[in-house]
Structure 1
Amino acid sequence: MQLQIVDNAASRKLFHKVPHLIYKGDKNWAPPLEGMIEDTFTPSKNPSFKNGEAIRWVLIGDRGELLGRIAAFINYDKANTFEQPTGSCGFFECVDEQQAANMLFDAAREWLKERGMEAMDGPVNFGENYVNWGLLVDGFMPQGFGMPYNPKYYQKLFETYGFQMYFKQFSYHLDTTLPELPERFWKVAEWVSKKPQFKFEHFSWDKAEKYIDDFVQVYDNAWRFHEHYKPLDKDDLRDFLKSAKPILEPEFIWFAYHEDEPIALFVMLPDLNQILIEMKGKLNFWGILKFLWLKKRKKMTRTRSLIIGIVPKYQRSGVDAAIFWHLRPVMYRKNWYKEMELSWAGDFNPKIVALYESVGGKHTKTHYTMRYLFDRSKPFQRAPIINAEKVSDKK
């Protein structure tokens, strides 16, 4: 077996070919757009390169067959917020052979180690965590856009190498066609939404920069207390809005205000995977026409929440319920959307888990973010739970 660095058009083509071999015949897998993957590894299009670097490999067998791929990357702003400087690996795909997986993991580990890293997280994204983050371990069904899908045997490949579960990510599904959701929740939501000191409004393109500023203010105030907090880069948001514009529904992005100060946000997108699954990862001229045709025919019937954030001072105020109160008539009006995926509820954040359960969400999928310590003698510690003293153990 031989590792080849991805550094030209031919090797990039091999990198994108690997998953099509791994998932051949798997109807649950939606091929990601190759252009979106390439943007991740293009310094001019990924703000993570401002203070970071990345590399990719493909693994080729003795007979010239493709066996796997992996990427390694470091965001130095984040890496040094951990006890051990921590880099990452991602975009991992591999045949069911531990030796092949080990070669890929070894390549990523050695590259990170040479750059001063002492641990490796994976499989994760070189960028924000709302896409391409985590290893699917339960709920092998079609995933919401940006939520990773992988064969069941990947967990064995990671754990046999020595990765351990750093935290869990839960996804909840909500059937939006049900006539009534938990009544107590909606009563609280209506009561809060009508308080004069609170205001709720959805995103609009003509005020995009204002909402970017509001998003950053909420995000920074909501996550500043977290042990590994890193301020949000506005360029990340601008890139997200630009890339998501073809599918973004302004009424799926909500902000809450107290006395005109932004205090909460909620972002949801139509599930692009329902279209990508028919496009084979390509977006050429005919692919664009097919995309527009499928969108017009309302092929996307699911949505996926990307993030909900509330400034700590208001986390018990009921503004989260009030946001859903304002979202509910939107979902009734756009009734071709039948299902909502409330995703990325980290087990370290029990408040979000409780919110998704209180609105009627059913736990359907679990992803793991894994960590590998280079010094195998060091004790492994899981991600700290927020407000741990108030949380019972969640299995």
Structure 2
Amino acid sequence: MSSEITIRPVEEASDRKAFVDLAFTLNRDDPNWIPPLKTEVHGLIDPRTNPWFGHAEARFFLAERNGEPVGRISAQVDREVLEHVGEGVGQWGMFEAADAEVAAELIARAEDFLRGRRMKVAQGPYSISIWDEPGLLVQGFDHPPTVMMGHNKPIYQQWVEAAGHKGVKELYTYDLDIRSELPPLIQRIVASGERNPRIVIRKVDKSRFDEEAALILGILNDAWSDNWGFIPLSDDEIAYAGKKLKPIVFEDLIRVAEVDGEPVAFMITLPDLNEFTRDLNGRLFPFGWAKLLWRLRNPKVRTMRVPLMGVVKRLQSTRLASQLAFMMIEFTRRDAVAHYGASRSEIGWILDDNVGMRSIAETIESHINKVYRIYEKPL
């Protein structure tokens, strides 16, 4: 009964622990749920460590029944969202619930928080921003997510929609068997590019990590600036993301495309870290850290993930842009198979209205394997 449920804000360290641990309790019987590293989740929600809080406010809530945690949710107001997405757009996320009654109470509490901040629309889920784990999984429950992608119970869709939230945007990931060469047409386009002296597809130089990261993020901010929901990353957020990603950055998996000596495109590919961390049950200590470091020394993985690709805006929708994308995909595919033993890649997420990227994904004969949905509700 509703009277048995209490919802309170996360305030103490013990509350934060319960907030993080609850996901493990509610998802432990799902074979396709990957336990996140608890240190990463604590870092995500801690204003002392995550520079996102420099331009945003979040409140985290725990639902309890008879004193036991049975649900959680976040509600957040981000000044960058208000500027770049729309005035009055508040967001919510990090949603977990034991049943429909708990879900309804949690979503209502998040909405109340946003109304109290004079927000006009509730949009989500985001855990906790579009650069973390955006969207509710609505298709593709039969296999685990790749690194930095979310996974939730299928019933959550019903509970969110029962609260009056309607889908406004879908994010797709694409699955590609990389053991075989790309289609003959793509091979011809790649070969033509290799013969073109104006084009250079180079690996990143990890010894100049900060410089390379700034270069790539500069292209990203230009390439994605017109995309739905785009929020530019601050310098502090770029440094924070770089610090987290550096251990899983391998030079032959990240490419920069140059035309006439000018960097104009990039593609980031990462080994699926979930394959390395799944058996750690979220714990790096006392032995998990050593296991992870050992596995990263000579990583062999089944799956690669391409989380980010971008071409400067002035070249978008040109044949050259497609050629550069195909070249980066093919060069990375070769090294992923030869050096890491990979057999598949997951590309995305890609917005449902990003015609150019969806066309590239479909032309190389990849197919949608997961769909994540962003919801909105007027407040």
TM-score (norm 1): 0.88
Match of 2:346 in 1: 341
What CA distance in whole angstroms lies between the structure 1 residues aligned with 2:249 and 2:240? 13
Letter in 2 for 1:253: I
Alignment of 1:383-394 (within 5 A): none
Q: Does 1:311 align with 2:315?
A: no
Match of 1:57 in 2: 61
Bigger mean CA offset, 282-291 vs 141-150: 282-291
Give the conservation status (yes or no) of the 8 Å contact 1:33–1:281: yes
Match of 2:364 in 1: 359
Match of 1:2 in 2: 6
Match of 2:125 in 1: 123
Letter in 2 for 1:310: V
What CA distance in whole angstroms lies between the structure 2 residues aligned with 1:134 and 1:228? 12
Alignment of 1:1-395 (within 5 A): 1-61=5-65, 63-97=66-100, 99-129=101-131, 131-140=132-141, 141-178=143-180, 180-226=181-227, 229-295=230-296, 298=299, 300-315=301-316, 316=318, 317=320, 318-374=323-379
Deviation at 1:95, TM superposition (A): 1.3
Letter in 2 for 1:7: E
Task: Identify the structure with the greater helix proportion.
Answer: 2
- What is the root-mean-square deviation in Å for CA atoms of aligned residues? 1.9
What CA distance in whole angstroms lies between the structure 1 residues aligned with 2:228 and 2:72? 32
Give the conservation status (yes or no) of the 8 Å contact 2:266–2:310: yes
What CA distance in whole angstroms lies between the structure 2 residues aligned with 1:224 and 1:139? 28
Q: Equivalent pairs: percent with the same residue?
A: 25
Deviation at 1:136, TM superposition (A): 0.7
**Given the superposition, is the C-alpha separation of residues 75 and 299 from structure 1 closer, same or farther in structure 2, using an over 3 Å criterion?**
same
What CA distance in whole angstroms lies between the structure 1 residues aligned with 2:375 and 2:117? 20
Give the conservation status (yes or no) of the 8 Å contact 1:247–1:269: yes
Cα deviation digits, residues 297-347 of structure 1 (max 9, x gap): 746321111111111332321111121232133123214112111120110
Q: Partner of 2:368: helix, strand, or coil?
A: strand
Deviation at 1:228, TM superposition (A): 5.2
Give the conservation status (yes or no) of the 8 Å contact 2:307–2:349: yes
What CA distance in whole angstroms lies between the structure 2 residues aligned with 1:295 and 1:227? 35
Letter in 1 for 2:168: Y
Give the conservation status (yes or no) of the 8 Å contact 1:216–1:234: no
Deviation at 1:123, TM superposition (A): 1.3
**Given the superposition, is the C-alpha separation of residues 217 and 50 from structure 1 closer, same or farther in structure 2, using an over 3 Å criterion?**
same
Letter in 1 for 2:376: R
**Given the superposition, is the C-alpha separation of residues 287 and 228 from structure 1 closer, same or farther in structure 2, using an over 3 Å criterion?**
closer
Deviation at 1:225, TM superposition (A): 3.5
Deviation at 1:283, TM superposition (A): 1.2
Give the conservation status (yes or no) of the 8 Å contact 1:302–1:341: yes
What CA distance in whole angstroms lies between the structure 2 residues aligned with 1:73 and 1:66? 21
Give the conservation status (yes or no) of the 8 Å contact 1:22–1:95: yes
Pairs aligned (count): 370
TM-score (norm 2): 0.92
For structure 2, the residue ranges without an aligned partner over 5 or more in a row are: none
Deviation at 1:127, TM superposition (A): 3.6
Give the conservation status (yes or no) of the 8 Å contact 1:170–1:343: yes
What CA distance in whole angstroms lies between the structure 1 residues aligned with 2:170 and 2:144? 19
What CA distance in whole angstroms lies between the structure 1 residues aligned with 2:297 and 2:205? 21
Letter in 1 for 2:331: H
What CA distance in whole angstroms lies between the structure 2 residues aligned with 1:298 and 1:325? 20
For structure 1, the residue ranges without an aligned partner over 5 or more in a row are: 375-395
**Given the superposition, is the C-alpha separation of residues 111 and 302 from structure 1 closer, same or farther in structure 2, using an over 3 Å criterion?**
same
What CA distance in whole angstroms lies between the structure 2 residues aligned with 1:213 and 1:20? 35
**Given the superposition, is the C-alpha separation of residues 265 and 291 from structure 1 closer, same or farther in structure 2, using an over 3 Å criterion?**
same
Give the conservation status (yes or no) of the 8 Å contact 2:85–2:230: no
Deviation at 1:232, TM superposition (A): 2.9
Cα deviation digits, residues 143-199 of structure 1 (max 9, x gap): 111111001100001100011111111111111222x32110121122123322222
**Given the superposition, is the C-alpha separation of residues 64 and 224 from structure 1 closer, same or farther in structure 2, using an over 3 Å criterion?**
closer
Give the conservation status (yes or no) of the 8 Å contact 1:52–1:74: yes
Give the conservation status (yes or no) of the 8 Å contact 1:134–1:368: yes
